Amino acid sequence: MIFDTHAHYDDEAFNKDRDELLRSLADGGVEAVVNVGASIQSTKNTLQLMKQYPFVYGAVGVHPNETGELNDHLMDWLKHVSGEKKVVAIGEIGLDYYWNEPEPEVQKYWFVRQLNLAREVKLPVIIHSRDAAKDTLDIMKAERAGEIGGVIHCFSYSVEMAREYLNMGFYLGIGGVLTFNNAKKLKEVVEYMPLDRLVLETDCPYLSPVPYRGKRNSSLNLPCVVAAVSELKGVPEEEVIAVTRENARRMYRLDANV
Ligand code: NI
């Protein structure tokens, strides 16, 4: 069954039918979901969802554009909740210069702090990097992020950059963007990368695959992404589902941690 490695079911876009939708995932072939924190509040909501639904796991962390809210006290709190059962990663953390908020120096500071938290608590990281390819890679190399491990979520860079992260031992998160007509660069990355480093993700409610582009996304749309990966890799869809599920469980160390 399908493993969705990155979702935001706490988003208000799901307020009307969250419970119904989450309860329908198993019938839609979705076995597990990692709900990813992007702020302190959404991390709290993630912990709640994780306790409510057996198939929902959690990642705790603060997205680069939200790092203005961080302080030492909240870092202590993140460390505390990272020890909860079913918390499988620190994330999403990183750099986002598309939204230049807060300023890059602030984003970098909290990116390094959260990488160090992951190292300390021995959890993998979920990296968000947008329009910040060089700074992200420089920091991850300087901090020896290869020893921490994890995923570059919604991978959006070149084959050369993919090679760098694959060499560090990272997984690449692939979602709805792969089905877009203008996703030439991402298709090259998927053709290039080994299937055993690819994990499926929705980033829902965002980034619905074709033919649902522009509508609210959910894990139920992942078969469209599976079909696209299957075609590019020349591997049957069932195999894409099985291999990416194994990848996700290995990446999040599910057998060891939970
Ligand atoms: Ni996300």
Distance, CA 188 to ligand 1 centroid (Å)?
Answer: 22
CA–centroid distance, residue 174 to ligand 1 (Å): 12
CB atoms within 10 A of CB 16: 8
pLDDT for residue 100: 87
pLDDT digits (tens, 9 = 90+) for 108-124: 999 999 999 999 999 99
How many whole angstroms from 73 Cα to the centroid of ligand 1?
A: 24
Residue 142 Cα to ligand 1 midpoint, Å, equals 24
Mean pLDDT of 89-117: 97
**pLDDT 10s digits, 129-160:** 999 999 999 999 999 999 999 999 999 999 99
Lowest mean pLDDT among 88-92, 98-102, 199-203: 98-102
Apex CA 68: angle with CA 89 and CA 41, to 5°? 50
Strands 150-152 and 171-174: parallel
Cα 144 to ligand 1 centre (Å): 23
Measure the CA–CA gap between 14 and 112, rounded to whole angstroms. 32
Alpha carbon of 193 to ligand 1 centroid (Å): 22
Give me the phi and psi of 127, to 5 degrees please: -100, 130
| Spacing, Cα 27 to ligand 1 middle (Å) | 24
Long-range contacts of the stretch 23-29 (C-beta < 8 A, 24+) = 24/220, 25/55, 25/219, 25/220, 26/1, 26/55, 28/219, 28/220, 29/1, 29/2, 29/223, 29/241
Q: For residue 36, report the distance from its CA to the centre of ligand 1, in Å.
A: 6
Q: Who's near 250: CB < 8 A, 6+ residues apart?
A: none
Q: Is the CB of residue 179 less than 8 Å from the CB of residue 224?
A: yes
pLDDT tens digit string along 160-207? 999 999 999 999 999 999 999 999 999 999 999 999 999 999 999 999
**Each residue of 226-240: pLDDT tens digit?**
999 999 999 999 999
Tell me the whole-structure pTM to 2 decimals.
Answer: 0.97
Give distance in angstroms: CA of 201 to centre of ligand 1.
Answer: 9
Residue 257 confidence class, pLDDT cut points 50, 70, 90: low
Could you give the C-alpha distances from 12 to 21, 61, 62, 113, 233, in angstroms and in order?
Answer: 13, 19, 18, 29, 36
Give, as one character, the DSSP assignment of residue 32: E
Residue 256 has pLDDT above 80, yes or no: no
Residues facing 96 on adjacent strands:
130
Stretch 93-99: mean pLDDT: 96
pLDDT in tens, 14-59: 999 999 999 999 999 999 999 999 999 999 999 999 999 999 999 9
Run of H or E including 116: helix 104-121
C-alpha–C-alpha distance, residues 65 and 75, integer Å: 16
